Structure 1
Amino acid sequence: MILTLLTLAIGLAGLLAGGELLVRGAVRLAESAGVSPLIVGLVIVGFATSAPELVASLQAALAGSPAIAWGNIAGSNIANTLLILGSAALMTPIVIRADIASRDTGVALAGSAALVLLAWSGWGATWIGLAMLAALIAYIARCYQEELRDRSVSVPNAPYERAEAAEMKEPPLHASGKGWTIPVLLTLGGLALLVVGGRFMVDAAIELARIAGLSETAIGLSVIAIGTSMPELVTSVMAARKGETEVAFGNVVGSNIYNLLGIGGVTMAIAPAPLPAGLLPWDLGLLTLSAAGLLFVALRWRRVGRSLGGALVLAYTVYLTWLLVTA
């Protein structure tokens, strides 16, 4: 058990460190290639910051453990909405911009409902994954067009706010000098750490489920999901502490959208299989209920205060306890 937990920790550390290196390398490569800052923010940062969740889910699916793969996707979004947003709101009440409230939270809810439909119907095919990716690309393209429409002001959308959250890290994402050597080394090093760390983490998670008598679904929803969501927790709480509460909220919603359509789409396209039936009704039900609740709060109150933040964290604690007790 101790060796398994140690392997799990090493894999998680490699996954997170690899994701961080990949973000920095990919951003600097794109800038060296002359890619516009808008594309870097909306596309490069968005996909690169989702790399830990992507690698973990994809490796689990390819290893014959779809319960861990899809549990990670659903669990990461539940953790984002309840634990991470709640923790950020406990720091500082979260203000929600109008456009994010009306559009981006709706996209996240639609993606959550799509997972429920897939799990209920038992559908699983490559074309479904490609359709999910196409929906994400269309959404990003819409955000890109809105940003281009008026460059004199920042247009609030979740991918933009997610990039802003990533910018708040130290050291900064952008390098002062030009050149290819360091960006290439960062990117390749990040990819290597992601692959090795993801493999260690998935293998250890499968072994942990066997030793502890837990289901692979529970491991994916809890240990893997919380581990891969750590970057979002750090960036959202950091944004809230700096008073950038809109950024903290957009980071959570943007991560949810990328998880559902991006990671879910890639996982379904490369390892097509029906979603595990064990995610219904409770886990995917909570995923959809939390997304619907977030949309209601965003449209009705336009803020997440400390009381609601505390309630979200409490709700996640109760869910996690129930999950591990009943697994």
Structure 2
Amino acid sequence: MALDIAFLAIGLVLLFVGGEGLVRGAVSLAARLGMSPLLIGLTVVGFGTSMPELVVSLKAAFYGSPDIAVGNVVGSNTANILLILGAAAVIYPIPTRIPGIRRDLFVMLGVAFFTLGLGYMGAVDRLTGSAMFIALIGYLTYAAMSGKSDDDEEKPATLPLWQQLGFIFAGLAALVYGADLLVTGATSIARSFGISEAVIGLTIVAVGTSLPELATSVVAALRKHSEIAIGNVIGSNIFNIFGILSLTAIIHPISINPTIAGFDIPLMLAASVLLVILLLGSKHLSRLIGGGFLALYAGYCAWLFTQTPGV
């Protein structure tokens, strides 16, 4: 137990150090390439911080734990919206007037509806996974072609290129390793209390693998880079389904637990719809909205744990 607690502490430190480095490098790289910070948040930051989810889902599928593989992805998407943006907004309100965000929001929403369909199917086979991955490549190609900043000229970068890339890769490495330590410790503690794999996947593993997004979005909000904070969550939610779930299914087809299909996926979809409405209909995510997000997430987790006998 003492070792598991140490893993938790070290993991948290690495997460926030990594988040600081990743945001600093990503913002500077966006300026150098003349790309919008939103696009960098959607791709480099959003997909990069989803690497823990990819590793966990692949491991879970190979070891015959599909509930953890699917619960990790679905739970992470819900946590990205309610927990991560909620916490970031409570710390510092996030402006929502971001050019070009409408397209990516509706892509994220479409992916959430598609996941609902996968839940009704009850499984993700190799053919479906391949189609999802091809769709992701198409989206990335289109986003890259339309993701230039309004100013076509290269903007002055505050850091040399090698330092920008160093911050990004070192930040990602710290985030991934920190998340792995935290998930290892938390999962071991949870299993000792008899918590089911589905609940572990939807809560502890999902939150743990989403901590890179949390650290990155909080740092971005504090530095007033709302495009990075929001783009990170949108990009991660798209990649979690069309990247992670598709690659997992291509390598090892997975089944979807009826409970996850009937409750957790619809909840993820509802959170996605709520986020779209708020981002398009308000000028910023206020502390009040952030607090509401956190309250909803706390209620969701409390409900999940009540479903585990003896907990």
Pairwise same-fold verdict (TM > 0.5): yes
Among candidates 198, 214, 223, match of residue 195 of structure 2: 214
- Which residue number corresponds to residue 78 of structure 2? 78
Q: How does 1:227-306 map to 2 (within 5 A)?
A: 227-306=208-287
**Post-superposition CA distance 1:305-324 (Å, at most 9, x none):** 12111111111111111111
Change (3 A) 1:200 1:231: closer
- Which residue number corresponds to residue 49 of structure 2? 49
Inter-partner Cα distance in structure 2 for 1:303 and 1:50: 25
Percent of counterpart pairs with the same letter? 35
**Post-superposition CA distance 1:112-147 (Å, at most 9, x none):** 111111111123211211111112111111111112
Inter-partner Cα distance in structure 2 for 1:268 and 1:279: 17
Shift of 1:48: 3.1
The Cα RMSD (Å) is 4.2
TM-score (norm 1): 0.74
CA contact 1:76–1:225 (8 Å) conserved in 2: yes
Shift of 1:63: 0.9
Shift of 1:220: 0.8
**Post-superposition CA distance 1:19-38 (Å, at most 9, x none):** 98xx89xx9xxx9xxxx786
Shift of 1:16: 6.0
Uncovered stretches (5+) of structure 2, i.e. residues with no partner: none
**Post-superposition CA distance 1:234-280 (Å, at most 9, x none):** 11111111222233222221221121211111112112122222203
**Given residue 280 of structure 2, which amino acid in structure 1 is its aligned partner?**
L
Uncovered stretches (5+) of structure 1, i.e. residues with no partner: 155-166
- Give the aligned length: 296
SS at match of 2:204: helix
- Which residue number corresponds to residue 136 of structure 1? 136
**1:175 equivalent in alignment to 2:156:** no
SS at match of 2:124: coil
Change (3 A) 1:257 1:213: same
Change (3 A) 1:98 1:9: closer
Inter-partner Cα distance in structure 2 for 1:200 and 1:81: 20
Q: How does 1:106-185 map to 2 (within 5 A)?
A: 106-148=106-148, 152=152, 175-176=162-163
Inter-partner Cα distance in structure 1 for 2:50 and 2:9: 19
CA contact 1:14–1:194 (8 Å) conserved in 2: no
CA contact 1:59–1:198 (8 Å) conserved in 2: no
CA contact 2:8–2:181 (8 Å) conserved in 1: no
Shift of 1:44: 5.2
